Structure 1
Amino acid sequence: MTEKLQNLSNTGLYSKNRFSRLTLRILAINSVAIAILIAGFLYLDRYESSLIQSELEALEHQADLFSDAIGEVAVRSNYGTSSSLSRTLVRRIVTKSGNETPTRSRVFDAKGRLLADSMSLPGAVGNVEMKPLEPLSPNLFFRAFAESFYEQVFGLLRQRPFPMYRESTLQLASAFPEVVQAMKGTTLKTVRATEKGSLILTVAVPIQKYKRVLGVLLLSLEGKKIDEAVRSFRLEMFGVFLLTISITVALSVYLARSITLPIQRLASIAEQIRNDRGRHYTMPDFSERNDEIGELGKAIKQMTDNLWQRLDAIERFAADVSHEIKNPLTSIRSAVETAAKVTDSGKRDRLLAVILDDVHRLDRLISDISDSSRLDAELSRETFTKIDIKKLLQTFHEMTTSDRRPNIPFLMLNIADNEASHVVQGHENRLVQVIQNLVTNAVTFSPIGGTITIHCESDEFNVTIMIDDEGPGIPNSKLTAIFDRFYTERPTDEKFGMHSGLGLSICKQIIDAHRGQIWAQNLLNDLDEIKGARFIIKLAKENHSRTR
């Protein structure tokens, strides 16, 4: 068994690989679809853009309220000169607000100098920079692994198309284009990205008093909230992706193996049939599968059975041919040996006549055998065309009756349902050969002056041809055997050896090739006595021939 499997592997019909090419293709096709879907979720451009827009609108609203408050409270009026912002009051307001919100607030006066920064507290030891601490959370292993994986892999996807944000050591208005623009009285919102890829949202709002710009409020907010939301959503989608890809891979493997394993088994059996000379194999049964694999298994099993039947038929045919040829050869040999010993010229002439008859018999036999042996191959090569059986029978009847010889039975034609279609798919010459053989057979058994009738009927699915004679009929036990090769049941007054016994067998071969049916039955009178024989041919119509 091991050698057989090795041979099958060498021929390429059987593979020991865990996954076949078909399996890999199914996996690839299913995985690509999911990968494309998950890639769309990974970028999430629209989702991130909506979050950024929402944060900017909230930041702008906060900046408007804050600038209005500074404009009302922190403005210092100088008598005789223009009003300006009070550094002390501005710092007091900014410091108080900086402790309540994560937003960084910076206020610049009309000359572009920094008055206050919520991230720096003034004191004797210098400015102290303040940053909010990260919230405490359990450092779970999976979360740490997921975050590390996220930073390593998805960091490559965070190539954001925003200008770079760089913290300037000189906190002057000229270092911030949005502040310069706000000095002209317009509000400007910007989005920048740091070198690490995180977002910085800024809103620059003019501080006005009586529509006069006294300074600019610059609010900036790190986009950690946006990054956390996007990262959380991506991690959730990544978990869904892992679950989906696992299920997809499992189903793909199951689907692939449910396809490849049966095909591999069928390929193995086919290789055994090709290599083994006997019939020592077991065909797998896929009859329970209601799919294409089940149909393939049934087709291969039927094909194999038909192959063995054909081989058995060839063997029987060879044996029958050998037997049928030996009979005239034996007769010829006996006549030749006897003629050599006979001195009477009259007896010698009779022996020579016997030899001549046997030679003619042998010639007819060889011709019929040759025709029968080539018939299947020729029919498989010939192309079927549309044939109107009604016109075919009418033409055959006209040609046969036009040169009718004396003492030959009359040939009648009866076609029912003339308006119905009589078109079938087939080979015209071969169907004419069948009709000719059956009519010739009927002539042989019909009495002198008798009648042979050809009937033709058509229904929704089939065209039926019936050929009746007025002969002695067929023994009931031989109604099927008459279609066997070399079967001979001839009239008692017919000279021996005039027929090879292949005529009806050839008719059945031709009708079987047309996927039709042919059978014989006896015609009975009112007293249930045989009054003749009937041969029936049933052919499927053109629109139904492929389904039969």
Structure 2
Amino acid sequence: MALVTDTKKPEAAAQPRPDDAAGHKVRKLLARPRTFGQFSLSRRMLAVNVLAVALLGGGMLYLDRYETGLIDTELQALATQGGIFAGALSEGATLEDLGDQPVLVPSLGQGLMRRLVEPTRIRARLFLPNGVMIADSRTMQGRGGSIQIQELPPPDEAGPGLLRRFVDSVSGLLRRHDHHPPYVEYPQAVAANYEEVTDALEGHITREVRSDQHGGLILSVAVPVRRYKQVLGAVMLQVGSANLEQKVDSVRADILRLFMIVLVVTVALSLYLAGTIARPVRRLAQAAYEIRHGDGRKVDIPDFSRRHDEIGELSVALTAMTAAMFRRMDAIERFAADVAHEIKNPLTSLRSAVETATRVQDPKQQKRLMAIIQDDVTRLDRLISDISDASRLDAEMSRLERTPVSIAGMLGTLVDVHATTRSEEDPVLEYEAPDSGERLMVLGKEGRLVQVFRNLIGNAASFSPAGGRIVVRAERQGPDVLISVEDEGPGVPEGKLAAIFDRFYSERPAGEKFGTHSGLGLSISKQIAEAHGGAIWAENRRDEAGQVQGARFCVRLPAAR
């Protein structure tokens, strides 16, 4: 006897297949329950909502256009006041009797200008055509010399609040005046130090914006002082940007208050959405994970069906899917147990026959035992074939591709085949088509539907007496097509109308050889009918006296539109 060895190379046997790698990846993903908390939908939802509000609030803090508008308005107001100052100086601070031309009197100009600026916070300076400054509203002449006036900010006894300090910090970061020329305070200023004054002495009204050393702005307007269209000097008005910045900071403070309110509302709404969306989804995911990795079947899917939204639909779908999966598992377990039981019977008989045949010397008994062995082998072959068909049917029905099938044409063909192949003792098969002549169409797989009606006709033929009559009817009932197969046999035993559709259940007529049928025909027919969205049942035909006249098997299938 030759010894057969495995000739595969170890390297080839160790190489993983593509489907093994994919399965390993799926198992690796399913084995990570901690990922439910990382980058969760709640955090993403909160981050996206807060980021949108933050970008909106941060963008509104840049009030450059608003600040520019305030500067333009202030410069326009300074120009108007400068015109008033120039008119007043030309009328009240000039003398015409000192020569041929009118001239500005410094003492009169300084006093008049100080009175004009008293109600305001404007600084005014007066320059002669030769560029010499003769008056400054911030300088007072006394016996001991000139006195410089400097305005102080109003006292803040309570001190700035937290919001004010935050607004000041933000304003300090956003306030950039690098594009403005610096302002320089000269001890003895002349017209040449300021371009706007030089232009005003030439008869133009000129504006200028400068930045001081504290980061603020100095707004300046120079207006010529005219007398009979003659330029007698120039008055320069200056004002700081404290009021402007205060207005901008006030707007920023209001925006920040509104931003805080919107932020609180956004966070609350995000948490609410997280509670109504993210947490239920996480609970459903956790339940699915426990079903995948749990040992038992006591995992309850959270019920959100009262929500009447997509999550409620997901909860109902997962519950139905889990129940169907458990039913499928139970059916597989029962089927495996039934298969083991049904195969064990012919194997036991076969083993007994083989053991007995080795000890029997009588040729007749050996021939009889060999016949038993042959019948058991045939029975095993038929049983395994039917079991294989039933196993393939489950997977095939799960991916059923439906096409229009004519029930009338199918049943007519089956009747013609039976009439062609029947013997004299076989029952007569009749087909009663609907009187209306309508086409009876259903959606399904024709080969499997043929298998259903062949099983029913074969079952009726096995119980019918010799030369009996089998009637097949088909008719339209509402949205369905009803097909019935009637025979003249003994009928179905009482209490067994539902049990005859169980797997491996066998109720055969008297005198039939044992093991001819596997008991899967009606079970397969029921499975096919239900996979097509229909139903199958059995009932007994009775006469007026209540006597059983035969059996009737009915199949209801949805009609094709």
- TM category (shorter chain) comes to 0.7 to 0.9
Q: 1:75–1:85: 8 Å Cα contact kept in structure 2?
A: yes
2:18 is matched with: none
* Structure 2 residue 506 is matched with structure 1 residue 488: yes
Question: Which residue is equivalent to 1:5?
Answer: none
- In the alignment, what sits opposite 1:209? 227
Equivalent position amino acid for 1:468 in 2: V
Contact 1:200 1:221 in 2 (8 A): yes
In the other structure, the counterpart of 1:546 is none
**Alignment-derived partner of residue 123 in structure 2:** 104
Q: What secondary structure, in the 3-state scheme, does the structure 1 residue paired with 2:495 have? A: helix
Matches of 1:422 and 1:160 in 2, distance apart? 85
Query: 3-state SS of the aligned residue for 2:487?
Result: coil
Contact kept? 2:209, 2:220, Cα under 8 Å = yes
Aligned to 1:150: 167
Equivalent in the alignment of 2:3: none
Of the candidates 20, 36, 40, which is equivalent to residue 59 of structure 2? 40
Describe the shift of the 1:160–1:167 C-alpha distance in structure 2 as closer, same or farther (beyond 3 A). Answer: closer
Amino acid across the alignment from 1:387: T
Q: Once the 2 structures are TM-superposed, how far is the Cα of residue 485 of structure 1 from its aligned partner?
A: 0.8
Q: Give the aligned partner of residue 189 of structure 2.
A: 171
Separation in 2 of the partners of 1:238 and 1:485? 75
1:320 aligns with 2:338: yes
Deviation by residue 1:71-128 (Cα, 9 ceiling, x = unmatched): 2222322565332322222111111122211111222222332232212222333332
Give distance in 2, aligned partners of 1:214 and 1:341: 150
* From 360, 374, 379, the counterpart of 2:392: 374
Q: Could you list the per-position Cα deviations for residues 354-396 of structure 1 after superposition, in whole angstroms to 9, with x for gaps in the alignment?
A: 432332222111111122123323444x4x4451123x75256
> Partner letter of residue 92 of structure 2?
V
1:237 corresponds to which letter in structure 2? I
Distance 2:437 2:65 in 1: 74
Matches within 5 A, 1:288-303: 288-303=306-321
AA aligned opposite 1:353 = A
**Is the 1:486–1:502 Cα contact (8 Å) retained in structure 2?**
yes
Q: Deviations over 1:137-188 (max 9, x none)?
A: 4414xx3433333333331111247413412414222222223333343323
Taking structure 1 as the reference length, what is the TM-score of the superposition? 0.82
TM-aligned CA deviation for residue 260 of structure 1: 4.8
How far off is 1:261 after superposition? 4.4
Corresponding letter in the other structure for 2:164: E
Does residue 54 (structure 1) correspond to residue 73 (structure 2)? The answer is yes
Secondary structure class of the residue paired with 1:477: coil
Mapped partners of 2:351, 2:225: distance in 1: 135
Residue 485 of structure 2: which of 454, 465, 468 is its match?
468
Distance 1:195 1:82, change over 3 A: same
Corresponding residue of 2:536: 519
- Structure 2 CA distance, aligned partners of 1:162 and 1:367? 93
Distance apart, 1:69 and its partner CA: 1.9
Give the AA of the match of 2:214: K
Residues 305 and 316 in structure 2, CA contact (< 8 A), matched pair in contact too: yes
Q: Distance in 1 between matches of 2:552 and 2:87?
A: 118
- 1:401 is matched with 416
Structure 1 residue 348 displacement after superposition: 4.9
8 Å Cα contact 1:14-1:264 kept in structure 2: no
Task: Name which of 524, 534, 550 aligns with 1:506.
Answer: 524
* Alpha-carbon contact 1:9-1:16 (below 8 Å) kept: no
- Higher mean C-alpha deviation, range 275-284 or range 221-230: 275-284
CA contact (8 A) 1:95 1:118 kept: yes
- Per the normalisation by structure 2, the TM-score is 0.80
Give the direction of change, closer, same or farther, for the CA distance of 1:507–1:112 in structure 2 (3 Å limit). Answer: farther
Alpha-carbon shift at residue 32 of structure 1 (Å)? 0.8
Cα distance in 2 between the residues matched to 1:180 and 1:422: 103
Equivalent position to 2:215, from 181, 194, 197: 197
Amino acid at match of 2:195: P
Aligned length: 525
Q: Which moved more, 1:110-119 or 1:463-472?
A: 463-472
Q: 1:540 to 1:220 in 2, by over 3 A?
A: farther
Point out the more displaced range, 39-48 or 504-513. 504-513
Q: Secondary structure at the match of 1:201?
A: strand
Q: Which residue pairs with 1:3 in the alignment? A: none
Note if 1:389 corresponds to 2:389: no
Identity of aligned residues (%): 40
Alignment of 1:407-446 (within 5 A): 407=426, 409-410=428-429, 412=431, 414=433, 422=441, 424=443, 426-445=444-463
Aligned-residue CA RMSD in angstroms? 3.7
Per the TM alignment, residue 483 of structure 1 is displaced from its structure 2 partner at its CA by: 2.4
CA shift in 2, pair 1:54/1:329, >3 Å: same
Q: 1:326 to 1:161 in 2, by over 3 A?
A: same
Indicate which of 92, 113, 116 corresponds to 2:111. Answer: 92
Verify the 8 A CA contact 1:456 1:466 in the aligned structure 2. Answer: yes
Separation in structure 1 between the aligned mates of residue 438 and residue 144 of structure 2, nearest angstrom: 117
Taking a change above 3 Å as real, the CA distance of residues 157 and 488 of structure 1, as seen in their structure-2 partners, is same
Partner of 1:139: 158
One-letter identity of the residue aligned with 1:503: G
Q: Residue by residue, what CA displacement relative to the aligned partner does 1:312-362 show, whole Å, maximum 9, x if unpaired?
A: 322222221122123223333454566667666556544433432332222
CA contact (8 A) 1:474 1:522 kept: yes
What residue identity is the alignment partner of 1:196? H
Task: Give the deviation of 1:428 after TM superposition.
Answer: 4.7
Give unmatched runs, 5+ long, in structure 2: 1-27
CA–CA separation in structure 1 for the residues paired with 2:103 and 2:169: 50
Q: Which position in structure 2 is the counterpart of 1:12?
A: 32
Give distance in 2, aligned partners of 1:421 and 1:394. 9
- Please report how far the alpha carbon of residue 540 of structure 1 lies from its aligned counterpart in structure 2 after TM superposition: 7.8
- Amino acid of the residue matched to residue 388 of structure 1? P
Whole-angstrom CA distance in 2 between matches of 1:513 and 1:494: 32
* Further displaced range: 63-72 or 328-337: 328-337
- Separation in structure 1 between the aligned mates of residue 204 and residue 415 of structure 2, nearest angstrom: 110
Distance in structure 2 (CA, Å) of the matches to 1:243 and 1:519: 66
CA 1:23–1:115 in 2, change beyond 3 Å: closer, same or farther? Answer: same
- Comparing 167-176 with 226-235, greater Cα deviation is found at 167-176
